[in-house]
Structure 1
Amino acid sequence: MKFFRPSPSLATLLALRVSLSAAFYLPGVAPTDYNEGDPVALNVNRLTPAILPSSQQVQSLISYDYYHEFFHFCSPDGGPKKISESLGSILFGDRILTSPFKLNMAKNDTCKLLCTSRYDVRSSKFTNMRIKQGYNLNWLIDGLPAATLTSQVGDESNQFYSQGFSLGGVGGDQKPFLNNHYDIIVDYHRIPGRNERQNRVVGVVVQPSSRTQKISGGAVKTADCNSEQPQYLREDGDTEVAFTYTVYWIESPTAWATRWDKYLHVFDPRIHWFSLVNSAIIVVFLTGMVSMVLLKTLRKDIARYNQLDLNEDVQEDSGWKLVHGDVFRPPKNPMLLSIFLGSGAQIFFMTGVTILFALLGFLSPSGRGSLATAMIIFYTLLGFVGGYTSARVYKSFGGESWKKNILFTPIFIPGVVFSTFFFLNFFLIWKGSSGAVPLWTMIALICIWFVISLPLSFAGSWFGFRAPPVEAPVRTNQIPRQIPEQAMYLKPIPSMLLVGILPFGAIFVELYFIMSSIWFQRVYYMFGFLFVCYGIMIITCSTVTILMIYFLLCSENYHWHWRAFFISGASAFYVLLNAFIYWLSKLSLGGLASNVLYLGYSVLIGFLFFILTGTIGFFSSWYFVKKIYASIKID
């Protein structure tokens, strides 16, 4: 899908009303009411790379602070002040600060001079490069992001708000120009029947333009905003730039509760529905195959096996029943597998609870970073689940190094994730990006990890080791059985590649939209589709792994523990492959830092997805294996 960002005329913007969608507003923030003339704060956020209209690609992943020394934007008297942010907002790179803009409710202002700035050669080169890379400015008015009116390719009547607006543009001579004048159009809703504080902000659009403006006056300077000459930044000398703005207030029928509807645009919802229908068909097909195996083949096998005289030659029978004395033999490296399963269970419940809370409307897009904050909180509180699962599984495997299991379960996987995140953060610091996580935030994450997550995991492990182990329904032989030669499709690599593509196919479309929201700075809110896709992915992982483990046991191969984990977890390979294709087709990252960041975070996401899907596949297979071997009579 391709999108473009038109630059409509001011008259068009003033006349146009974007129709409201039928979606309900996700609650989370109480409205702020204003009297006419009350000051309305305009806060600024980081500068972010956007899709270039010419190539439909993103050329950088580095965000910059609004008051970066090379941009020379106007700052308020006394310097900008930080606006309090959530932990998730900080981790995702938001840096919200105050600004010198003066807005008053329902009061129009025309051609107000903000300040004049001088760009030296170095600043001009830096800013021109960011303009060529298509960077956007991001402002906030009453919690609403300043937006650009955007249309979808092929459907110009379907217009919506796209967050942010361009830093500048490139003329026909390929020469970049700086947008130094801003037409700020604020929609407000007047509450009928109220005399005081009866106005609420319900929409913000900014139309930037480039104008070489003349400054006049003595102590109180004014600017002439009628110039049509673009403002270029010279790279062979200093450039004087005047920043101006105009404010238009427009009364709107849009209610405060639905003001986000204009921002939450669904790009061709038919693709979502097609994906769901396609995934549902796959699930029905797989469930039918597994049901056929369980209800027909297994039932006949069990009945025939139970009718045999076990004192006679049982070798006449074959298949999965012959490995009953080895199928519950502990796997190799039980410690590592139990740690993976504990962390996987923790991620599984964290993901499910987060999606459910978002689906119910508790994680509103108006609460910046609320989704990431919720994920951190739920993962921390679910440390008990991770510790309990790891300890119980390790005890069931006959493990004896319980102290190592208690210690490594809350440290190994989170340690890998945090170390990778810490390493990638150095590239952001090197590039002077606003996305670099501050030191105090890193310390806060470590404190949350050690003060809350570790004790909960230790408590879960204590209960897990006190609980009885999961008993095997059959005895394990002392001497391992020899495994015959396996068919090609049952060997590790072919079976992983064959099975792993099915869970990935169930979430492919939603994964595309999630990736776009991360790298293209879009709001993702289709949690209904995501919830259904998550359920389909769980069913798909379970069914395909059970089916492959059944075939594995029928070939008299009882090494199913790690195989079940890797078969289902192999869908992470396709997630990484998709990320690589996305990197080649949708991104055009020129710098080392951006490429390292993209590949590093993609590998991190793939690793966590591997742990999640592998855990689903293992536990579903474990339940299946226990069920079928509990159904046969063993002397």
Structure 2
Amino acid sequence: MWKPISIFIFLLLCHRISPVRSDASNHRYQPGEPVPLYANKIGPFHNPSETYRYFDLPFCIPGSILQFDHIKEKKEALGEVLNGDRLVSGPYSLDFLVDKESDLLCKKKLTKEEVSQFRKAVEKDYYFQMYYDDLPIWGLIGRVDREGRAEKDYRYYLYEHVHFDIQYNKDRVIDITARMDLHSVLDLTEDKEVDAEFTYSVKWNETDIPFEKRMDKYAQNSSLPHHLEIHWFSIVNSCVTVLLLTGFLATILMRILKNDFIKYTHDEESADDQDETGWKYIRGDVFRFPKYKSLFAAALGCGTQLFTLAVFIFLLGLVGVFYPYNRGALFTALLLMYALTSGIAGYTSTSFYRQLEGSNWVRNLLLTGSLFGGPLFLTFCFLNSTAIAYSATAALPFGTIIVIILIWTLVTSPLLVLGGIAGKNSGTEFQAPCRTTKYPREIPELPWYRYTIPQMAMAGFLPFSAIYIELYYIFASVWGHKIYTIYSILFIVFIILLIVTAFVTVALTYFQLAAEDHNWWWRSFLCGGSTGIFIYSYCLYYYHARSDMSGFMQTSFFFGYMACICYGFFLMLGAVGFRAALVFVRHIYRSIKCE
């Protein structure tokens, strides 16, 4: 029954994130034929989330792009809206193979208010983005000449002329660039009415680049030789970390375990348990179920779902779905994949909760659905309200919010419930090699570095160091204007992150048990997920030292959504760490005779 539905949803996903979209169905044009041009958004160059509609600034609006006294808007897919794209018909007429020396766009008298509005935009380094036959175009709207150190010595200029260089191959558009004329400017320094004359020119040049490779140039920046050297250095650094950690486990931990097995076997043969110490001593408590087991199972379920989501996203990236400027493809995939994987969270959480002898599985299921989705929803409400107050394109329209609610109501929630019912009826029992005693042993006094927070700090440092170099490129792509396309390298780094997290958690779990501390359940989850806290700490460093972001809206968007992302990493890596620790603990206690 579910197989046809899954196939349909997958085909729908592939359709919504199809490689190229345009009003022209096949991207072929005849000489003189109009080529679709859409103005997307404007905003401060250093604040990627703070973008506005193109015509929020008083640019010229030619009558040809008006329809019923309104600007003609392009119908957008869900992912484009989530990405903040608001495409409307562009002001320029760039017909196929039609050169223009200097065509007049419009003449306009700017009022004092409009001059002030443009000046503030120039001061904040506003840029514009357009799409011409689905090819992105950028350009700054003006410049600031700093004739002295004092702000009163600054002069603000608005560019009046734009030159378009367009390359074509036979009947198809291959490339387009926009260059602002540095000599054709309008002085906006003083608050007074000025006459503006906006013009543009077009030059067509033939090229032999095939249409199928026209997007390759946008991916070349991330694959330049010196960038590849840094990426490979990141992988080598991560691999060295893994090898060192593996060597540590092989030479130290395994030797200690071997000695432990020999010692415990000798003790069993001599039947002398009086001087028993170490991890065997707490065999009757090590599988005692943790406190707040409903919350623990919910965290494990959410972490498993996010891990599955990450794997699917990587697979889509490896097959080339997220090519540069495929507008909204990543957001569409994240939304749909999160909805479709909710059943995994329900099944994992409820089945594990029943293994822990929990009875209120309905409450556990509600907790699972809200543990990650709740903070994400609250963060979205706050940030969307902020975007509405700023009149920014990041504010989702009411119709899009309704669509998201419908997806949550008709897909996410039913799959979560179905997964929970399947988990409740799975009937599996918790596999424990040792019987748990009725009363727990008292944990001996431990030094400060064996407490939870110091252990989390040690556990999170090594995995974070393995991904530290790659983090900058990811941040520069998500919160900047750089492009990240090397998903194969990123996937390798992700695998290394999982391995290091698992190894570190196993090592710390052993030392915790050797100190006769049997409360390892929550500790292993917290230590595994502590890398998420390190990543959020890196956010503070990146914001202040590696970026020029400013303003309340951009700051709130950056730290708000990064908090959700790092929280997701915490749950995902926490689940990985606990699973690795559970396999390890079961293995060592199966290797001895437990009565």
Q: TM-score, normalised by structure 1?
A: 0.84
> Within 5 A, what are the aligned runs for 1:555-566?
555-566=515-526
Query: Aligned letter for 1:177?
Result: Y
Matched, 1:455 2:414: yes
Matched, 1:77 2:77: no
Query: Aligned letter for 1:528?
Result: S
Query: Aligned letter for 1:175?
Result: R
Matched, 1:585 2:545: yes
Question: SS at the partner of 2:115?
Answer: helix
Equivalent residue number for residue 358 of structure 1: 317
Distance across 2 between alignment mates of 1:543 and 1:603: 26
The alpha-carbon deviation at position 470 of structure 1 amounts to: 2.5
Distance across 2 between alignment mates of 1:625 and 1:555: 14
Matched, 1:169 2:143: yes
> Within 5 A, what are the aligned runs for 1:34-45?
34-45=29-40
Q: In the TM superposition, what whole-angstrom CA distance separates every residue of 1:405-431 from its partner, at most 9, and x where no partner exists?
A: 122212331121011011111111111
Give 5+ residue unaligned stretches, structure 2. Answer: 1-16, 148-153
Equivalent residue number for residue 98 of structure 2: 107
Question: SS at the partner of 1:62?
Answer: coil
Query: Aligned letter for 1:248?
Result: K
The alpha-carbon deviation at position 140 of structure 1 amounts to: 0.7
The alpha-carbon deviation at position 522 of structure 1 amounts to: 2.7
The alpha-carbon deviation at position 290 of structure 1 amounts to: 2.4
- The answer to whether the 8 A contact 2:298-2:365 is kept is no
Distance across 1 between alignment mates of 2:303 and 2:252: 28
- The answer to whether the 8 A contact 1:77-1:100 is kept is no
Distance across 1 between alignment mates of 2:555 and 2:92: 36
Equivalent residue number for residue 166 of structure 2: 186
The alpha-carbon deviation at position 130 of structure 1 amounts to: 1.7
Equivalent in 358, 364, 378 of residue 399 of structure 1: 358
Equivalent residue number for residue 236 of structure 1: 191
Q: In the TM superposition, what whole-angstrom CA distance separates every residue of 1:207-247 from its partner, at most 9, and x where no partner exists?
A: 0125xxxxxxxxxxxxxxxxx45212364222332221111
Matched, 1:629 2:563: no
- The answer to whether the 8 A contact 1:60-1:591 is kept is no
The alpha-carbon deviation at position 307 of structure 1 amounts to: 4.1
Distance across 1 between alignment mates of 2:60 and 2:95: 25
Distance across 1 between alignment mates of 2:575 and 2:113: 52
Structure 2 CA distance for partners of 1:118 and 1:405, relative to 1, 3 Å: farther
Matched, 1:249 2:204: yes
Structure 2 CA distance for partners of 1:450 and 1:371, relative to 1, 3 Å: same
Equivalent in 193, 213, 216 of residue 261 of structure 1: 216
Give 5+ residue unaligned stretches, structure 1. Answer: 1-25, 51-57, 147-163, 191-198, 211-227
Distance across 1 between alignment mates of 2:434 and 2:236: 41
Structure 2 CA distance for partners of 1:310 and 1:405, relative to 1, 3 Å: farther
Query: Aligned letter for 1:517?
Result: S
Distance across 1 between alignment mates of 2:273 and 2:80: 65
Question: SS at the partner of 2:71?
Answer: coil
Distance across 2 between alignment mates of 1:570 and 1:328: 23
- The answer to whether the 8 A contact 2:119-2:189 is kept is no
Question: SS at the partner of 2:393?
Answer: coil
Question: SS at the partner of 1:409?
Answer: helix
Matched, 1:383 2:342: yes
Equivalent in 14, 31, 53 of residue 65 of structure 1: 53
Structure 2 CA distance for partners of 1:440 and 1:248, relative to 1, 3 Å: same
**516-525 vs 348-357, which moves further:** 516-525
Distance across 2 between alignment mates of 1:483 and 1:253: 74
Structure 2 CA distance for partners of 1:110 and 1:562, relative to 1, 3 Å: same
- The answer to whether the 8 A contact 1:119-1:233 is kept is no
Equivalent residue number for residue 515 of structure 1: 475
Structure 2 CA distance for partners of 1:230 and 1:365, relative to 1, 3 Å: closer
Distance across 2 between alignment mates of 1:88 and 1:292: 50
The alpha-carbon deviation at position 499 of structure 1 amounts to: 1.5
Distance across 2 between alignment mates of 1:287 and 1:84: 53
Distance across 1 between alignment mates of 2:20 and 2:119: 38
The alpha-carbon deviation at position 310 of structure 1 amounts to: 7.5
Distance across 2 between alignment mates of 1:619 and 1:293: 22
Equivalent residue number for residue 129 of structure 2: 138
Distance across 2 between alignment mates of 1:369 and 1:65: 17
Question: SS at the partner of 1:93?
Answer: coil
Equivalent residue number for residue 93 of structure 1: 84
> Within 5 A, what are the aligned runs for 1:494-513?
494-513=454-473
The alpha-carbon deviation at position 60 of structure 1 amounts to: 7.2
Equivalent residue number for residue 8 of structure 2: none
**169-178 vs 386-395, which moves further:** 169-178
* Count of paired positions: 561
Q: Report % sequence identity.
A: 32
Question: SS at the partner of 2:313?
Answer: helix
Equivalent residue number for residue 298 of structure 2: 339
- The answer to whether the 8 A contact 2:160-2:184 is kept is no
Distance across 2 between alignment mates of 1:326 and 1:72: 75
Structure 2 CA distance for partners of 1:59 and 1:419, relative to 1, 3 Å: closer
Equivalent in 315, 320, 324 of residue 283 of structure 2: 324
Distance across 1 between alignment mates of 2:506 and 2:94: 62
The alpha-carbon deviation at position 463 of structure 1 amounts to: 1.2
Distance across 2 between alignment mates of 1:72 and 1:622: 65
Distance across 2 between alignment mates of 1:233 and 1:309: 89
Distance across 2 between alignment mates of 1:83 and 1:229: 31
Structure 2 CA distance for partners of 1:472 and 1:188, relative to 1, 3 Å: same
Q: TM-score, normalised by structure 2?
A: 0.90
Query: Aligned letter for 1:181?
Result: H
Q: In the TM superposition, what whole-angstrom CA distance separates every residue of 1:57-103 from its partner, at most 9, and x where no partner exists?
A: x3674111101154555562323222232322211211111123222
- The answer to whether the 8 A contact 2:109-2:196 is kept is yes
The alpha-carbon deviation at position 572 of structure 1 amounts to: 1.6
Q: State the Cα RMSD in Å.
A: 2.1
The alpha-carbon deviation at position 438 of structure 1 amounts to: 1.4
Equivalent residue number for residue 32 of structure 1: 27
Distance across 2 between alignment mates of 1:318 and 1:70: 78
Distance across 2 between alignment mates of 1:98 and 1:424: 28
Distance across 1 between alignment mates of 2:412 and 2:374: 12
Matched, 1:527 2:487: yes
- The answer to whether the 8 A contact 1:29-1:366 is kept is no
Distance across 2 between alignment mates of 1:398 and 1:522: 50
Structure 2 CA distance for partners of 1:375 and 1:517, relative to 1, 3 Å: same
The alpha-carbon deviation at position 172 of structure 1 amounts to: 4.2
Distance across 2 between alignment mates of 1:86 and 1:596: 26
Q: In the TM superposition, what whole-angstrom CA distance separates every residue of 1:275-314 from its partner, at most 9, and x where no partner exists?
A: 1100011011112222345643223322432343379331
Query: Aligned letter for 1:409?
Result: T
Query: Which structure has the highest helix share of the two?
Result: 2
Query: Aligned letter for 1:178?
Result: L
